Amino acid sequence: MDKDFDISAREGDLNAVLSAGGAGEAVRSSSSEERQKKAQMMARQIAMNMGDDDDYVPQRAKPAAEEPTKERTLPQRPARASSQGARPKSGSSANRSRAASSSRSGSSANRNSSGSRKGSSKKRRKKKSSGAGATIGFLLGFIVVLLGVGYFIGLILTNGTFLPNTTINGVDVSKMTLAEATELLKPEEMSGLVLTKKDGTPITISASEFDYKDDTEQQVQKIYSNINRKLWFKSLFSTSDYKFKANVSYDEAKLTQALDKIVWGVTEPKNAYIAHTEEGFIIVDATEGDTLDYSKLKPFILDKIHNGIFNINIAECDCFYKAEIQAEDLEDQLEFYKKLGDFTVTIDFDYTKEELTLEDYSTWMTFSEDGTSYTVNKDEVAQYVGHLADIYDTYGKPRAFHATLQGDITVDQGSQGTYGWKIDQKKTTDELVKILENGESTTIDPVYESRYGDDGYAFFTYAGIESARSAESDIGNTYIEVDLTAQHMWYYQNGEVLFETDQIVSGLYSEPKRVTPEGVYEILEKKSPYKMTGDGYTDVPCTYWMRASYEGIGFHDLSRYSYGGKVYLTDGSHGCINMKYGEAQKLYSLISVGTPVIMYY
């Protein structure tokens, strides 16, 4: 190929390309500008392929719309220096030529322009490669210096602290000083042993009270001293988790002494039970108390202290007493109650009544496994009957009494007293068991005790007058009153005096076997006539006999030379109340068996 390149010919082709897409347009759009750019790039490519691309710089083409036919010229390339002088310029329409230099020794021919361009391009590439290498080397050196500076800065910053991402016993101590980490990891004993009771009340025992010590500080110091700070940078990418268990010591005897003084709870748990409501039978849940088994609590507290825990909630300890009967224990019984229905046993005490409902007697029943039958616990029933006796029995208890002459006094039952109410607990228990087993509603009177004679028959029953019975008294307002000191007697009927006399003689006061004992009696029998037998006498007749005691004290007529006054002190009876015939007759006609008799000194 000729080393001279006709630019004008190529330029004509370029103009043809530039004018092909936009001839005749007055104003070019943005799309025509893009086509011009593409055309310029094509021209450059052609020039590079046909000539010296390194030195060729194309002139920007003017818009075809402004000068559609104007000839375009390329700028002149500068003359290349050679040993023989500057290269001549060439016009836009002439072929460019290059002068050959023959000054180099040993060279017989001029270099052609193509070889010159290739050599120049290689030099430039070598310069670029050597420049890039220098840049890379500089960067690597800078990075090494930067890393070195960063390492020493990190070494300085981590000196005197724990490394980043460090935990001890699960506590984050990163970047903390030894003192800070030790303070954070110290057990809570520094503020004392705090024991929180079940009701939320805190109790504090200071560490000095039981000589508590631990080696937490030494353990943390050991971990701190073993840190390899030269490899501090590894802590940025990994976690170090240290664990230790502090060794503790304390005076257990002193601690136990302090714990023994604490009142842990006073409320007992309550069992679940079945209640009878308007809606029917329901189970009432058991309630928890705060009383506890101290033998279980103590080791719980000691174990917490040994593990460095000094804020202890004792509610977490399984040491509290639980109700023996829980709600689930009563489910079968509840179903049985619903099937059994509700029956009531009414116990009549004349002035009041006691009612036994299912809620009361259900606890006396033992149910079968299938819940379809039951037996009655007799001991439970007997306990209930004993409770009734404590309330309603009057026999054997002192009575408050308003005496005619002496006013308000208290009269004991007396060694031979017979009046009062006394439940026969065994027989009443048996009766109730039968009723409960039968399961039907009913009303009963308690069975009262009887005093049996030598013939085996009941001589009298410990039951007073029903109409006289009240919550305050069982004597009522119909009774015989005998003032043994005044030797005076009265008979009150419905609160009115129907008979009185001071012509009586009681037992010889100076002889214990014959003295009339004070007490609360009742008229056990009336007989007319009657023969009396006692200590030192037999079959002594009287017309009107009114017995007051089983042993033989009674009211009767007896003829004697004097009555009343102080006769009983020196010439008293064998214990009976001696009366004049006419007065004994009148009293006999007024009173009935069972009438209360109150005698006192």
For 197-215, what is each residue's pLDDT tens digit? 998 999 988 888 888 777 8
Band of the pLDDT at 154, cuts 50, 70, 90?
Answer: confident
d(CA 337, CA 371): 9
Check: CB of residue 345 under 8 Å from CB of residue 356: yes
Q: Residues 530, 451: one domain? A: no
**Does 528 score more than 50 pLDDT?**
yes
Same domain assignment for residues 287 and 358: no
Per-residue pLDDT at 101 exceeds 50: no
Residue 504 lies in a domain: yes
Residues near 234 by beta carbon (within 8 Å), at least 6 away in sequence: none
More confidently predicted of 271 and 191: 271
Q: Do 340 and 237 fall within a single domain?
A: no
In a domain, residue 122? The reply is no
Alpha-carbon distance 475 to 470, whole Å? 9
- What's the pLDDT at 346? 96
Closest CA to 215 of 189, 194, 245, 190: 245
| Same domain assignment for residues 588 and 508 | yes
What kind and span of H or E run contains 578? Answer: strand 577-579
Give me the chain's average pLDDT, please. Answer: 80
Q: How many Å apart are CA 117 and CA 50, to the nearest integer?
A: 12
Query: CA quadruple 559, 562, 566, 570: dihedral positive or negative?
Result: negative
State mean pLDDT over 528-553: 94
**Boundaries of domain holding 513:** 479-600
Percent of the chain whose predicted confidence (pLDDT) is above 90: 44
CATH at residue 520: 2.40.440.10
Residue 109 has pLDDT above 50, yes or no: no
Residue 339 has what pLDDT? 65
The pLDDT of residue 319 is 93
- Please check whether residues 359 and 449 belong to one and the same domain: yes
Indicate the residue among 76, 103, 126 that finishes a domain.
76
Which pLDDT score, from 0 to 100, does residue 513 have? 93
Q: CATH number, domain at 387?
A: 3.10.20.800
pLDDT of residue 40: 61
pLDDT at residue 414 is higher than 60: yes
Q: What is the pLDDT of residue 358?
A: 77
User: Does residue 309 register a pLDDT over 90?
Assistant: no
* pLDDT category of residue 126 using cuts at 50, 70 and 90: low
Per-residue pLDDT at 114: 47
Least confident of 159-168, 387-396, 408-417: 159-168
Higher pLDDT, 558 or 39: 558
435 has pLDDT over 70? yes
- Domain assignment present for 141: no
4 pLDDT higher than 70: no
pLDDT for residue 594: 95
Please give the pLDDT value at position 229: 82
37 vs 237 pLDDT, higher one: 237
Q: Are 349 and 447 in a shared domain?
A: yes
264, part of any domain: no
Is 580 in the same domain as 489?
yes
Cis peptide before 529 (omega within 30 of 0): yes
Instruction: Indicate whether 585 and 561 sit together in one domain.
Output: yes
Nearest residue to 55 (alpha-carbon basis) of 26, 93, 98: 98
pLDDT higher than 60, residue 503: yes
Work out the average pLDDT over 22-34: 45
pLDDT value at position 36? 58
Do 316 and 351 belong together in one domain?
no
Q: How far is CA 318 from CA 71, 322, 485, in A?
A: 109, 10, 71
Does residue 514 sit in the same domain as residue 564?
A: yes
Residue 367 domain flag:
yes
Between residues 513 and 235, which one has the greater pLDDT?
513
Q: Last residue of some domain: 42, 76, 110?
A: 76
Count of domains for the chain: 5
Taking alpha carbons only, the member of 70, 68, 48 closest to residue 58 is 48
Please state the rounded mean pLDDT for residues 136-158.
80
Whether 311 maps to a domain, the answer reads yes
pLDDT of residue 366: 81
All residues at 6 or more sequence positions from 569 whose CB lies less than 8 Å from its CB, including other chains: 508, 509, 510
Asked if 430 and 351 sit in the same domain, the reply is yes
Question: Looking at the domain assignment, is residue 56 inside a domain?
Answer: yes
For residue 303, give the 3-state DSSP assignment: helix
CB 18 within 8 A of CB 36: yes
- Is residue 337 predicted with pLDDT exceeding 70? yes
Does 340 lie in the same domain as 424? Answer: yes
Q: What average pLDDT does the segment 321-349 reach? A: 85
Residue 117 in any domain: the answer is: no
Average pLDDT (170-184) is 87
* Entry pTM: 0.48
Domain boundary among 61, 76, 91: 76
